[in-house]
Structure 1
Amino acid sequence: MTEIRQQDASTQIVRRLDRAVREVIRPARIRYRSPLTVSARRVGGEPVSFADGTRGDLTPLAVGDSWGRAWDTVWMHVSGAVPGEWDARTAVAAELEIDLGFTTAQSGFQAEGLVYTTDGSVVRALSPLNHRVPLQVGPGAAIEYWVEAAANPTLNNAHGTNLIPLAHLGSWESAGEEEIYRFAGAHVVVPEAEVVALAHDVDLLRGIATNDGTDVRRRDLILAAIERMLAVLDPTDVPGTAAAARERLTAVLTTPAHASAMTLTAVGHAHIDSAWLWPLRETIRKCARTFSNVVTLMEDNPDFVFACSSAQQFAWMKEHYPDLYTRISDAVARGQFVPVGGMWVESDTNMPSGESLVRQFVAGQGFFMREFGIECPEVWLPDSFGYTGAFPQIARLAGAHWFFGQKMSWNRSNRMPHHTFTWEGIDGSRILTHFTPVDTYNSDLSPVELGYAHGNFADHADFSGGIVPFGYGDGGGGPTREMLEAGRRAADVEGLPRVRFGAPSEFFAEAEAEAQDADPATWTGEMYLELHRGTYSSQARTKYGNRRAEALLREAELWAATASVRAGAAYPQEELARIWERTLLLQFHDILPGSSISWVHADAERMHGEDRDALEQIIADALDILAGTGEQTLTVNGAPFPRAGIPPLGGVAEPAPPNQQVSVERSGDRHVLRTSHLELQVAADGTFVELLDHASGRSLFSPDAPGNTLDLHQDIPTDWDAWDIDAHYRELTVPADGTAEVRIADDGTPAVHITRTVGASRVEQVVTLAPDRPVVDIVTEVDWHERQRLLKLAHPFRIDARTSAAETQFGHVVRPTHENTSWDEARFEIVAHRWLHVSDGVVGAAVVNDSTYGHDVARLPAQEYLTQVRQTLLRGPLYPDPESDQGRHTFRTRLVLTPDVSGAVDEAYDMDTPLRTARGDGREIAPVAQAFGDGVVLHTVKLAEDGTGDLIVRVHEAYGRPTRARIVVNGAQIRQVDLLERVLDSDAGPVADQLELDLHAFQIVTVRARAH
């Protein structure tokens, strides 16, 4: 009973304090307040410049007046003066306060504003919890500013509940005519400094006292001090008694932290999604608002350090806000505004190709080095949806030493065992990694969060600190004065970890030194996020556009470089860089994963289309130059292996066609396709009831377990529509219509056409066999009209595979097909790039695709074990795009019989890079570079980024085993370089013509070749 009474007494003190804060302290934080005059001009539609926005007629805007259709911009003119009767000593601390009608306390997800001076200079931003602008003016001084107010829609959560119709998320044209905000006024105010300080004091102490881990004696001492404070605080004269109240708290505020307390490096941050619940064009303005806040804070807080990733966002500021960019550059030079991450954007890491991740660093590090002379030593990806096991090698070869993240704290089933550890990639490369123990990149440095970080940290025995990124994020906003005050009060106080402001590099340098003695734990391979599995499949058109952009960029660079080397043609360096930067931008972790509003994905589809046209033109121009003048056919491709008489990465005149034949016939109710390699039988329902491999004599399908089945499931995740596929979807199978039409092609080609209905959608397929190898090609066209449903294309192979191998960046990842542990069970939906392979050691099959990423693999017990591989073709999430993926789609799938992954690698490149022809004089094109060795893939051929004309060649080992490689560039001196194209310390010097070296599994090697 004594303990209960003590708890009740403590609770009563806290409740008494809360009421005093709410009703007494906070209302007294303003000494003076005087209204200002506001008038407005509605420009509508897309944003306009300052000159255009401030030109034209204005109408008065009073408190309570509505303004702004969803996504519109309204320019507001704010004018008035500091009242002359105000005390001159305190009026110098006056602030401009503008409330646009903020409806919640969530920053970055509703109306926002950017304040300008009358000459068009950016001042700072307005957001719900940060909408005051320091003035530093005396009584009688005139006040005049402009505000670019953005009527961005207000959203409550990601379940589809919002304060306006979802249609408003599509574009400003679809937003309707209703104005969605009501203006709440503009004032000049003077804060009551001592009362503001008191509010910060009690916020800190209340947080410590109510944290679960706080020592009982410490709690009681704080509560006693709070009671003494309340005893002297006069509710009728808070400003006059605030100093005395603060004095009662001095002792408990100045008690230092325990000697063993960890140190948290508080890094200012504003994770700004490059697109999400707003379009790309709005992100540019969000960056300007946030960064203007940050550089303004830095002027009064020289200890404040802000970490900013994404070179793209810096580039936007340079292009659209040059004056602000100058202020940012000055802060970078002072070491306060710190570029981090070294990437173009904070990309997804599951789906971009290996070359795309390389180019994230080439573009990002290149920008930071050109603009600021800075090479980022760390990777910064706090919000990407899991991390590929290929990343450690790519990061290390791009100059990074450290990796920072936090998203793995979102795991649904299993907790990551460490916060600071060594991460080992699929090739054996290692990188020191830290996940913030605060489990968010949007900390406010409150005692609750700081206490949580201290208790949550898993590696106290080996490491003494961690990083806490603080500031409003996702939609921008960044750190506030209040957060800085909270951090300063928590610098060294009992009951919390120590807090210091600093850059990530300061933490990592200390952690690296500690790791020398600690021998930290190692995590090997991919870090699979046990959440957001639906992002492998949502918004199929965006994913198709990405895959085609990656393939065409590879091909365009190859042929443009070949034309430059062989024929002296101009290399389209700027155009290729522009397209790469757009491709990299569209790989941002809420664009490529399909988790943005429809406006974003419409922009992505348009941009991908424009870039496809441009790349096709670059390829055609290069081939025209290489082919010469004439009417003979030149056949080329960019595959890494010789095929159909074509040398790798070269071209020949009129290659001989394969002499194998494909036959097709109807036998009873089945349609039979045959080659010398395979026999495929298609049943009347469109499924594959036999796939006979002549080499092994085994059939991979049977009537009881046919291939090419279409599985339709209800798909209603518990939380995040576009993001998640939950395991329970497997229990909610939707019966297919059952009707099918199967026929032999009418045009005489050896193909079978299949038409089926699933739900309200129509599926048409064309099935063919390759004449010269054991390959089944399936082209699937879907007219999709399902919502909250998921469509899978399934192939239950008669193979007892204990693992599956799925292509990832520059290699593959092997995963078990069983569910022995909770970690295995959580991988019920997995990501694969262009292929997924299963084998029993004798017979194997690969499912190769042209644009899908989501898959599932399962062993199915029957009379004999089956291994089922399913591609996730389409979903129908309602949020944030209720029309997600409606309409027509085309998918290409290739079933490849291959006992190991080599056939999968070959066929993936073949599907990515089809044969091309050009008319010319019959000359053959010798490859500019070649690579030899079992499993050695020649992936990239381009000219150097620095414009020297040097040839860059990138190879990697693809099969997952050591090999001997020989790289040949005739007539050139070869040196080994890193991904940023700089000579490696380990390079032994230039080698003429060819370089031989031993590669370990999945190793990436880049060489630079300079003509003699």
Structure 2
Amino acid sequence: MHDNVVQVEQRVGNTIRDHVTPALFIRTAPVGITAWEVPDEPVPFAEAVNQDFEPFEVGTPWSRPWGTTWFHVTGSVPQDWGREGSAVQLFVDLGFSPLLPAFQAEGLAYRPDGTIIKGIEPFNRVVDVDGTSVDLYVEAASNPNMLEHFFASAPAAAAGGMAAALPGTLAPVARPHAARLGSKTTAGSEPIYTLRSLMLVERDLEVDALLADVTVLTGLMRELEPTLPRRAEILRALEAMCDTIDPDDVRGSAAAARKQLAGVLGAPAHSSAHSIVAVGHAHLDSAWLWPTRETVRKCARTFSNVLDLMDADPEFTFACSSAQQFAWVKEYYPDLFERIRVRVAEGRFVPVGGMWVESDTNMPGGEALVRQFVHGQGFFQREFGLLSREAWLPDSFGFTASLPQIARSAGTDSFLTQKMSWNDTNKMPHHTFWWEGIDGSRIFTHFPPNDTYGSDLGAADLAKAQRQYAEKGASNVSMTLFGWYDGGGGPTREMIAAARRTRDLEGSPRVTLGSPGDFFAEAKATLTRPEVWTGEMYLETHRGTYTSQARTKLGNRRSEHLLREAELWSATAAVRGLLDYPYEQLDAIWHTVLLQQFHDILPGSAIAWVHDEAEENYRRVGEELEGLIAAAQSALAGDGDATVVFNAAPVADGGVPALGASVGQEVPPAVTPVAVDGGHVLENGRISARFDAAGLLVSLVDTESGRDLVPPGEAAALLQVFRDKPVMFEAWDIDRSYANTVTELREAASIRIDGDALAVTRTHVDSEVVQRFRLAAGAHELQVETAVDWHEQEKLLKLAFPVDVRADQFASEIQFGHVMRPTFANTSWDAARFETVAHRWVHVGEPGFGVVVANASTYGHDVTRTTRDDGGTTTRIRQSLLRAPKFPDPDADQGTHVFHTTIGFAPTVLEAAAAGYRLNLPARGVRGNPANAVDPIVAVSSPSVLVESVKLAEDRSGDLVVRLYEARGSRTSVTVGLGTPFSSASRTDLLERELGEQVWGADETIGLELRPFEIATLRVRV
């Protein structure tokens, strides 16, 4: 062997580049091309093929950004083509870039009868041709490659997600242009692609196999230590291959060249080699840098590619999450869906996740997260006769501590993600382990150790998995997901060829094509004592997603609470025979809301088109739900002129019964502000709020204890503006450095009494903020309305509440409970958690005294503490209200917003929970019959047990379903009373399936023993 290893490697590379690759196609032949450009939005096949197609030539530009052009391709296969050892294919290059293959032009090939053949992607450019002629249509989508515009260069890295594909050394360029492409109205009308190639090719299968052999061996050689004999053997074989290849007759010498490699390819792996179960995947974002309408087409392209591979390889298995994507295919591509159904029955096209979409898990409310599984698993059960066993969220931005209980109670027993490998400070200690939630539920969890959901099964990825696997010695198996990702595409024949060659190869992990179930069965059998991770899995990046796109977040929060009301009052009226329950309408609304909880929509990290559509959907959903609520309440209240006050909160408010309504009970009015001593005061007998001459809240006193919540010299409800220029991902990240520059808005442009509110106007550069402070009679909290006309760029607006409380921890509401987080930073884990998520409230307290800050649409918070000169402690609670990132939406958060916050006294987390409900579910006054007081449909005996949902059963049986949970974090006994006669009641899982553990007859008291934060679902036959 040549002594110069580097020279030999270069020789191999040159041989492949200059001789072998050019010999892949034996011959080419032209085809006839005609085209029709769709005037606006995409149209179905049947409509497209009936249009007037015009002659089209290779080298001609086609379609504007977000446009569609249909190509009709015809031709004859030359008679001497397709001999043994070759394949005839149509080769398509729509003008592809080698960068980021799932983010650009794509195509879908159809037969003349409208059946789908396969997708056409940048790294999957061929369509097999059977017979002697070609007659097919290609629906070509000119989707702009926004990331290519945004970054100066970006390798097409086969790694999970944007971080791997876009290393930190890349320089942002042309951001305004990239961002303009995110909306149809600003993207322009000039073509952005040129048809580069459309022709028949004859592929040499032996040369194709040689390329696959060399790719695997050169990759493996680079991963081996230079001193290992195995590396030298591979290098020698590759050099012999180069000697054997005849540059003047590559095809004639390819078989002999492959024989030179057969020995090293046939050497078996070591007995201790890591075992990898390789699962085909295509992590397809339901929206991101493209709208949902394009995701529908991406599903067809990707899934047809997968089916094409399954036809060619009987062992290939593909895992697909998101019932929504299956539902889209069923609706828009029914023939394709039926082909998928066949493969699902075979166990090869595997529905995973059990959710409607791969949602965010930080911000969806508890019931919404449950419904992700209810609707996802329900779809899988109806359409395929199965339930997913694997919860599957490879790319969501951190994971709530409520998820183990929810996922387990929804039929899954395993969980997969890789996103925690993105942590910017601390490394997660395990790859396969038990994850324990706030209630004690555990779910078997796996992180693919190659840190990706889009492997190419190359040697570098496989070696990384073996090198990084944390459970070495205890277990030796991991899973890898392979296929082009984010924008879809999925696995390729080249990837499967790599898997075949690494099934049992010395120096490499053993790779087996398999299913998620195959992996989890082996992992559970071999890892007999997994380690345990307890509590939330906080992602140490993407902290800005709790705040970006405030309108989308407001729409989500409001929709969730309107759905609660619509279901509660509709169910109450239905079981009392007053109206029919609107099953179908509620299902459709839930599907819209659940889709928009996808992990690039609700977090605010999608293009303008996506968020514009989301806001319109929320507006429509709001109108529909208000109509349902009004109809149900009208039926319950009856005809009359009395005020019937309906309360949908699970806690009493101003004497209104929980989950019921009373007659003659008015919604409490607000007290009037009073001007005193150069400032203003709001008092209601419980709270006294004092504002100074600048309109700053400088005192908030609990009149019973006399304790002032505001620390000396501080101001609460203080507006702060920070510079917000994250190093990498603008809409996603808030970097720690944001806190280094702050402007406090202490000066008032005006202060006035506006009806029942004290209105204070402040300005900052081009923005204006009007804060209105109100205090209702008898209320526990001061109301703060913050109306913002926001025109800043790359700024962060926070609302700060310093409080005179010494607290080591603060409680943040999450789904079905709360988590405790430290107010200090002793460790790197503490320090990395500098921006956190909470739902309706945050609570800090000392024994017997506490403070709640509640919100109606805000998720991002930070809570810290400092010691004052007087020895006291100031704990500072801040809500993150608005951001102003430029990418991917340059107008993110621009314009008007209204935020609702309350601050008040709450000794415990239960009082804090009550404040959150009061703000988000205010009582409604309806005109009705004074004889029609509406008794609660559900009542519970314990103040720590809250009713989360009241609805009718998913199976349309008319059974009443009640979901409740323990909210304090303590073991509790509770009885449940029902405001309607019933024949029996039973405990179910979240999918409303009988557990067989607890059943009650009509004359029995429904009693439950709940562990801390336990969720209980009751099914009642009325």
SS at match of 1:384: coil
Cα deviation for residue 744 of structure 1 reads 2.0
Equivalent residue number for residue 378 of structure 1:
390
Structure 1 counterpart of 2:477, from 465, 468, 471: 465
Cα deviation for residue 739 of structure 1 reads 4.0
SS at match of 1:567: coil
Distance 1:164 1:318, change over 3 A: farther
Structure 1 counterpart of 2:708, from 699, 705, 724: 699
State whether structure 2 residue 364 is matched by structure 1 residue 349. no
Structure 2 counterpart of 1:598, from 568, 588, 608: 608
State whether structure 2 residue 906 is matched by structure 1 residue 911. no
State whether structure 2 residue 629 is matched by structure 1 residue 643. no
Equivalent residue number for residue 448 of structure 1:
460
SS at match of 1:248: helix
User: Contact (CA 8 Å) 2:105, 2:141: kept in 1 or not?
Assistant: yes
Structure 2 counterpart of 1:143, from 111, 125, 134: 134
Equivalent residue number for residue 843 of structure 2:
837
Structure 2 counterpart of 1:725, from 734, 738, 742: 734
Cα deviation for residue 531 of structure 1 reads 0.4
Distance 1:784 1:993, change over 3 A: farther
Equivalent residue number for residue 766 of structure 1:
772
User: Contact (CA 8 Å) 1:684, 1:740: kept in 2 or not?
Assistant: no
User: Contact (CA 8 Å) 2:645, 2:666: kept in 1 or not?
Assistant: no
- TM-align CA RMSD: 1.7
In the alignment, structure 2 segments of 5+ residues that lack a partner are 152-171
State whether structure 2 residue 104 is matched by structure 1 residue 110. yes
Deviates more, 1:841-850 or 1:984-993: 984-993
Q: Whole-Å Cα distance in 2 between the matches of residues 7 and 16 of structure 1?
A: 11
- Cα distance per residue 1:464-483 (max 9 Å; x no partner): 21110000010000000000
SS at match of 1:387: coil
Equivalent residue number for residue 143 of structure 2:
152
- Cα distance per residue 1:879-917 (max 9 Å; x no partner): 000010110000000002112111110111111111112
State whether structure 2 residue 426 is matched by structure 1 residue 403. no
Q: Whole-Å Cα distance in 2 between the matches of residues 221 and 992 of structure 1?
A: 81
**Counterpart code for 1:700:** L
Q: Whole-Å Cα distance in 2 between the matches of residues 655 and 735 of structure 1?
A: 42
User: Contact (CA 8 Å) 1:736, 1:759: kept in 2 or not?
Assistant: no
Cα deviation for residue 214 of structure 1 reads 7.6
User: Contact (CA 8 Å) 1:43, 1:75: kept in 2 or not?
Assistant: yes
Equivalent residue number for residue 514 of structure 1:
526
User: Contact (CA 8 Å) 1:462, 1:514: kept in 2 or not?
Assistant: yes
Structure 1 counterpart of 2:680, from 666, 671, 690: 671
Equivalent residue number for residue 3 of structure 1:
none
Superposition map of 1:352-751 within 5 A: 352-515=364-527, 518-655=528-665, 662=671, 664-702=673-711, 704-734=713-743, 736=745, 738-745=747-754, 747=755, 749=756, 751=757
Superposition map of 1:724-873 within 5 A: 724-734=733-743, 736=745, 738-745=747-754, 747=755, 749=756, 751-863=757-869, 864-873=872-881
User: Contact (CA 8 Å) 1:974, 1:993: kept in 2 or not?
Assistant: no
Equivalent residue number for residue 958 of structure 1:
967
**Counterpart code for 1:17:** V
Deviates more, 1:496-505 or 1:205-214: 205-214
User: Contact (CA 8 Å) 2:225, 2:231: kept in 1 or not?
Assistant: no
- Cα distance per residue 1:336-385 (max 9 Å; x no partner): 11101100000000000110110001000000000010111110100000
Cα deviation for residue 733 of structure 1 reads 2.0
Cα deviation for residue 90 of structure 1 reads 5.4
Equivalent residue number for residue 198 of structure 1:
210
Equivalent residue number for residue 321 of structure 1:
333
User: Contact (CA 8 Å) 2:34, 2:53: kept in 1 or not?
Assistant: yes
**Counterpart code for 1:193:** L
User: Contact (CA 8 Å) 1:403, 1:431: kept in 2 or not?
Assistant: yes
Deviates more, 1:206-215 or 1:664-673: 206-215
Q: Whole-Å Cα distance in 1 between the matches of residues 661 and 863 of structure 2?
A: 38
Distance 1:24 1:786, change over 3 A: same
Q: Whole-Å Cα distance in 2 between the matches of residues 670 and 773 of structure 1?
A: 22
Deviates more, 1:224-233 or 1:439-448: 224-233
User: Contact (CA 8 Å) 1:549, 1:608: kept in 2 or not?
Assistant: yes
Q: Whole-Å Cα distance in 2 between the matches of residues 730 and 759 of structure 1?
A: 19
State whether structure 2 residue 42 is matched by structure 1 residue 47. yes
**Counterpart code for 1:743:** R
Q: Whole-Å Cα distance in 1 between the matches of residues 859 and 694 of structure 2?
A: 27
SS at match of 2:673: strand
Q: TM-score, normalised by structure 2?
A: 0.95
Superposition map of 1:289-300 within 5 A: 289-300=301-312
Superposition map of 1:30-45 within 5 A: 30-45=25-40
Structure 1 counterpart of 2:72, from 56, 72, 77: 77
- Cα distance per residue 1:659-684 (max 9 Å; x no partner): x9835322222211112112111123
Cα deviation for residue 856 of structure 1 reads 0.5
Cα deviation for residue 88 of structure 1 reads 4.2
**Counterpart code for 1:478:** G
Q: Whole-Å Cα distance in 1 between the matches of residues 483 and 220 of structure 2?
A: 21
**Counterpart code for 2:39:** G
Q: How many residues align?
A: 996
Cα deviation for residue 807 of structure 1 reads 0.3
**Counterpart code for 1:928:** I
User: Contact (CA 8 Å) 1:156, 1:162: kept in 2 or not?
Assistant: no
State whether structure 2 residue 892 is matched by structure 1 residue 884. yes
Distance 1:7 1:999, change over 3 A: farther
User: Contact (CA 8 Å) 1:153, 1:164: kept in 2 or not?
Assistant: no
User: Contact (CA 8 Å) 1:155, 1:162: kept in 2 or not?
Assistant: no
User: Contact (CA 8 Å) 1:45, 1:173: kept in 2 or not?
Assistant: no
Cα deviation for residue 163 of structure 1 reads 9.6
Distance 1:541 1:663, change over 3 A: closer
- Cα distance per residue 1:615-670 (max 9 Å; x no partner): 01011111111112222221111011122222111111112676x98353222222
Deviates more, 1:595-604 or 1:217-226: 217-226
Q: Whole-Å Cα distance in 1 between the matches of residues 636 and 746 of structure 2?
A: 53
Cα deviation for residue 11 of structure 1 reads 2.4
SS at match of 1:422: strand
Q: Whole-Å Cα distance in 1 between the matches of residues 807 and 712 of structure 2?
A: 20
State whether structure 2 residue 892 is matched by structure 1 residue 898. no
Distance 1:184 1:999, change over 3 A: same
Distance 1:858 1:96, change over 3 A: same
**Counterpart code for 1:847:** V
Distance 1:305 1:997, change over 3 A: same
Cα deviation for residue 89 of structure 1 reads 4.0
Report sequence identity in percent. Answer: 48
User: Contact (CA 8 Å) 2:750, 2:761: kept in 1 or not?
Assistant: yes
Deviates more, 1:447-456 or 1:506-515: 506-515
**Counterpart code for 2:742:** T
Q: Whole-Å Cα distance in 1 between the matches of residues 176 and 205 of structure 2?
A: 39
Superposition map of 1:907-986 within 5 A: 907-922=915-930, 923-969=932-978, 970-972=980-982, 973-986=984-997
Equivalent residue number for residue 159 of structure 2:
none
Equivalent residue number for residue 1005 of structure 1:
1016
User: Contact (CA 8 Å) 1:215, 1:495: kept in 2 or not?
Assistant: no
Q: Whole-Å Cα distance in 2 between the matches of residues 649 and 802 of structure 1?
A: 35
Cα deviation for residue 120 of structure 1 reads 1.2
**Counterpart code for 2:445:** T
SS at match of 1:855: strand
Cα deviation for residue 165 of structure 1 reads 2.2
User: Contact (CA 8 Å) 2:33, 2:55: kept in 1 or not?
Assistant: yes
**Counterpart code for 1:793:** L
User: Contact (CA 8 Å) 1:555, 1:619: kept in 2 or not?
Assistant: yes
Equivalent residue number for residue 21 of structure 1:
16
User: Contact (CA 8 Å) 1:388, 1:527: kept in 2 or not?
Assistant: yes
